[in-house]
Structure 1
């Protein structure tokens, strides 16, 4: 993956190239794509296995204004946020152009039906498979076998996984060697956004860096901890790291 430009932030190698440089048809090896935001960063600081999963991603996208801001403060680099929704759209356009196939694993059957309905209109050349796993905290071996077999029987070019973090990333990491897919992406809320069961904030708010705020206003019970609690904690981590950088520079 060294053909893409990355930047070291904390313990992670963040993808900072344009998505236009990524073409799934050129992948000769399995590619696992995850995203990093302030929420997943804080969770990973308390969950060593999740941190390992993120660190070992083939591509780790800067999905959040917090990561973009941290990169500016700590590295002096201005980078562009790449959301899971951006990755999803990029891959769908590529798949449609070559009549490729994709599979959606996660969410409810209602959401998956909404995705298929919209894809049929916007990307009619794509062959689509879906599977709604049982709603439970932890899958058993039978659950995992069923999901893996359904995916491999369909034989997609791209697998989209939407089970919320960190469950989705951990599941992919644990089973990636059994999945016969070129590209695997954990994209969480994108399933709801694309099916329109949850409305994503408009481009104005996204371009202003305030997508998080509009989502918080709309879903305060679901998202308050992510932004109100973990936001200040993430800022603390950023400026703690900045202080260490300054002290090390002065000591040298």
Structure 2
């Protein structure tokens, strides 16, 4: 794998100075999680999630964060690798509006979902002020990744995107994974954004976590395409009412109809069972 693909979007060279000594171990902010259909979801919001990321970078830990929609919850019930990858995350935020509603229905004080694309946007906005270093792994191809990089830098002047690569749509060899890890470590990012879709991004973060020096990895799915301007996002009113799936179905019916037809009804019935079990004061089986 040639490293030239990285260099095309990496105008900020890796720092040549040796890395500073690791900071003393620090206790990260506690993130409470509650299971929805056995998948633990964080009781958090954007600001607390961003504060956790900053604290993790300052403490120089090695963690990753997942974002979950209904699709992730339902797939994890059948895909053992995905379930284990999500379980290994520091926490998983409720990316889908129905998951935020589910947490509220279970009696938890959560005001809004933590939507992956908006979390990325807010993190970039904050990083433009703090100087935090970001790396982009994913996207449709290298051209799309280049567009994403340009748009993010235009929107957030001063944002330090220190590298990126769009992997091919196939399983990478060990030699390629080694090259990816070497490039990311050479760029010395604080945060690696991973946009290769569920379940690939969760499994990639779990598998690569020990190879990478970056303190935080965050999987954000379609956020790359949205922020690159390649795919439109649902109108705010549809997002607020939990109808984003309908908007996306209209955009990509052939790819998504089976997913929604299968997962959405099963989630509704499964969560209804969990809710009734909680109301009766017994665990759901």
**What TM-score results when the alignment is normalised by the length of structure 2?**
0.81
Partner of 1:146: 179
Partner of 2:108: 77
Match 1:4 to one of 8, 21, 31 = 31
Once the two structures are TM-superposed, the CA of residue 105 in structure 1 deviates from its matched residue by: 0.7
Q: Describe the SS at the equivalent of 1:46.
A: coil
* Distance (whole Å) between structure 1 residues aligned to residue 124 and residue 202 of structure 2: 21
**1:36-185 alignment runs, 5 A limit:** 36-73=68-105, 75-77=106-108, 79=110, 80-107=112-139, 108-128=141-161, 129-136=163-170, 138-185=171-218
- Equivalenced residue count is 248
* Distance (whole Å) between structure 2 residues aligned to residue 127 and residue 72 of structure 1: 37
* Distance (whole Å) between structure 1 residues aligned to residue 238 and residue 249 of structure 2: 12
Q: Is the 8 A contact 1:31 1:59 kept in 2?
A: no
* Distance (whole Å) between structure 2 residues aligned to residue 77 and residue 213 of structure 1: 27
Once the two structures are TM-superposed, the CA of residue 67 in structure 1 deviates from its matched residue by: 1.2
* Distance (whole Å) between structure 2 residues aligned to residue 221 and residue 133 of structure 1: 24
Q: Is the 8 A contact 2:191 2:214 kept in 1?
A: yes
Q: 1:247 to 1:3 in 2, by over 3 A?
A: closer
Gap runs ≥5 in structure 2: 1-27
Once the two structures are TM-superposed, the CA of residue 96 in structure 1 deviates from its matched residue by: 0.5
Q: Is the 8 A contact 1:68 1:78 kept in 2?
A: no
Q: What is the RMSD of the two structures over their aligned residues, measured on CA atoms?
A: 1.9
Q: Describe the SS at the equivalent of 2:77.
A: helix
Q: Describe the SS at the equivalent of 1:14.
A: strand
* Distance (whole Å) between structure 2 residues aligned to residue 63 and residue 184 of structure 1: 16
- Identify the structure with the greater helix proportion: 1
Once the two structures are TM-superposed, the CA of residue 248 in structure 1 deviates from its matched residue by: 4.6
**1:194-209 alignment runs, 5 A limit:** 194-209=227-242
Q: Is the 8 A contact 2:97 2:240 kept in 1?
A: no
**What TM-score results when the alignment is normalised by the length of structure 1?**
0.91
* Distance (whole Å) between structure 2 residues aligned to residue 235 and residue 131 of structure 1: 37
* Distance (whole Å) between structure 2 residues aligned to residue 244 and residue 48 of structure 1: 25
Gap runs ≥5 in structure 1: none
Q: Is the 8 A contact 1:36 1:60 kept in 2?
A: yes
